[in-house]
Amino acid sequence: MKVGFIGGGNLGSSLVRGLLKSGTLKAKDIIVSDLDESKLKNLNKLGVKTTTDNRKLVNDCDVVFIAVKPNIVESALKEVNDVSHDKIFISAAAGISTKFIEARTKARVVRTMPNTCGAVGEMASCFSLGKRATPKDAKLVERLLGGIGTTFRVDEKMMEAVTGLSGSGPAYFYVFIRAMQQAGVGLGLSNEIALKLAAQTAKGAGEMVLKTGGVDDLIKQVYTQKGTTIAGIDVLEDRKVADAIKEAVKAATKRAKELYR
């Protein structure tokens, strides 16, 4: 099976790196197309084939990830329409519906919302099937996306919420980690130690949640009355940090809905 990626930017390259690192795909089975030669040079170092010709890529591949920005999708689809028959198109473009792609190609279409954490095999994603996609296609997508993280099949109407939550989500955590790092440095720790402590704490907290299936009890386990953690939690609650996070997810979701086609 040959898998192609139209788009070798941050998202496309993160998917490629994750699929290679996990062993889900081999380099000889991946082709990436992009007009930016510098992006292709970086991907060449991974051993994958590259091209600037989208039509050739689609013609040579069984499965094609659409990993370009939403405003570029339509022109890319027009370019490859005549070679799209019997292909599976997996779109990772925010706001682009399966219906939009089906109307412009002959492919079986799957819509997904991954995130860039796929590069380290820790991606959170969801996917939904278009009208022409089959149960066999769903199993293939689960294998590909599940090989580099966690994936769930959802109704397409939920994909904008997924975009706001986990698609944009890594950036929210980066902001939180950066703030913790800066606080540590302000208290005398080195940049490197403060960053690694903050990042490892975030990683460990995520693992704890995944293994236990909840957060309320975990929060209670960390703090005791009149202890250090409750003092920090009080500040977060006073500054309404939880409300700000909810509003951030809603804002990103709203923007995804504005992009919807």
The per-residue pLDDT for range 28-86, each reduced to its tens digit, is 999 999 999 999 999 999 999 999 999 999 999 999 999 999 999 999 999 999 999 99
Torsions phi, psi for 48 (to 5 deg): -85, 155
Q: Are residues 122 and 16 in the same domain?
A: yes
Residue 214 pLDDT class (50, 70, 90 cuts): confident
DSSP assignment letter at 61: -
Q: Are residues 121 and 17 in the same domain?
A: yes
226 has a pLDDT exceeding 90: no
CATH number of the domain that residue 186 is part of: 1.10.3730.10
Containing domain of residue 183, as a range?
169-259
| Type of residue found at 27 | A
Residue 259 pLDDT class (50, 70, 90 cuts): confident
Q: Are residues 99 and 134 in the same domain?
A: yes
pLDDT of residue 47: 96
Q: Are residues 15 and 129 in the same domain?
A: yes
Q: Are residues 115 and 221 in the same domain?
A: no
Is 221 a domain residue?
yes
Provide mean pLDDT across the span 181-195: 98
Last residue of some domain: 120, 155, 190?
Answer: 155
Q: Are residues 27 and 54 in the same domain?
A: yes
C-alpha dihedral over 107, 143, 152, 134, to 10 degrees?
40
Is 164 a domain residue?
no
Q: Are residues 215 and 249 in the same domain?
A: yes
Say which residues have a Cβ less than 8 Å from residue 242's Cβ, sequence separation at least 6.
Answer: 236
224 has a pLDDT exceeding 80: no
- Number of structural domains, the chain? 2
Q: Are residues 47 and 133 in the same domain?
A: yes
Q: Are residues 148 and 211 in the same domain?
A: no
Which of 63, 62, 61, 130 shows the shortest CA–CA distance to 96? 130
- Do the Cβ atoms of 130 and 110 come closer than 8 Å? yes
Q: Are residues 16 and 104 in the same domain?
A: yes
Rounded Cα–Cα distance for residues 34 and 36 (Å): 5
pLDDT of residue 179: 98
Count other Cβ atoms within 10 Å, centred on residue 98. 21
Rounded Cα–Cα distance for residues 111 and 200 (Å): 32
Helix runs in 23-53, H state only? 37-44
Tell how strand 49-51 and strand 123-129 pair up.
unpaired
Report yes or no on whether pTM surpasses 0.75. yes
pLDDT of residue 225: 81
Q: Are residues 103 and 22 in the same domain?
A: yes
> 139-143, 191-195, 219-223, 240-244: which has the minimum mean pLDDT?
219-223
Say which residues have a Cβ less than 8 Å from residue 87's Cβ, sequence separation at least 6.
Answer: 58, 61, 62, 63, 64, 105, 106, 107, 108
